[in-house]
Amino acid sequence: MKSPKTISFLVSLYLLTSCSDSLDFSQLKEYVYKSKFTTSLIYFKVNPSEFTESIGGASISSISDEIKFKDFQTDLLESVLARIDLKANIENGSNNTLILEITFLNRSKDVVFETKSREIAANTLFNYFLIIDLHQHPEILDTTYLNYKITLENDSNRSDALNAGREIELNSSMDVYIEAKL
């Protein structure tokens, strides 16, 4: 009589070998590697009163911030980048309507791509989401600077409105999607 160990080994070996097919490496030719990377871009918090200068009280109509990155200027990335998702959250605690503009600039600070201006109502939270397909907009790959600009919509009665209200807060991030064939 055979031992239970020998029988279970033979049954296991039979099951493992009977359920396998020969390997087909031609499937690798069709395999596409997909990955997503997320990076934070710009964050700022501004008191509405900062739209007036401390010296002389002159009014400023906009505040902007710019980030420099050169990650897109590599041959490897240019060939594998597929899509960019741009996200921005703006909490407008002021009593004014704001206008958000996001601009992609090249090394010479010429406009490469510009988003549509968005109005942000007073005392609201605004979530902005933009999908950029790099096959349709390959000029994005020339981007060296990303500029965010917040502008007050109107100048009338601004000094009273700027002294009231909470802060304006912006935070943004970018998801970069990579697709590469093996």
- Could you tell me the CATH number of the domain that includes residue 38? 2.60.120
**12 is a domain residue:** no
**155 is a domain residue:** yes
3-class state of residue 75 by DSSP: helix
**79 is a domain residue:** yes
**41 is a domain residue:** yes
Contact (CB, 8 A) for 176 and 84: yes
**61 is a domain residue:** yes
**23 is a domain residue:** no
Q: Which residues are paired to 44 by β-bridges?
A: 170
Q: Which residue segment(s) compose the domain that 177 sits in? A: 29-181
Number of domains in the chain: 1
pLDDT in tens, 138-178: 888 888 898 988 888 765 545 554 555 678 888 899 898 88
At residue 58, the pLDDT reads 60
**7 is a domain residue:** no
Give the Cα separation of 58 and 117 in Å (integer): 25
Segment 81-91 shows an average pLDDT of 90
Return the higher-pLDDT residue of 86 and 53.
Answer: 86
At residue 103, the pLDDT reads 93
Token pair in block for residue 71: 């990650």
DSSP string for 146-170:
EEEEEEES--TTHHHHHTSEEEEEE
Dihedral Cα 50, 55, 58, 62, nearest 10 deg = -30
**123 is a domain residue:** yes
Q: Are strands 62-68 and 81-94 parallel, antiparallel or unpaired?
A: unpaired
At residue 111, the pLDDT reads 94
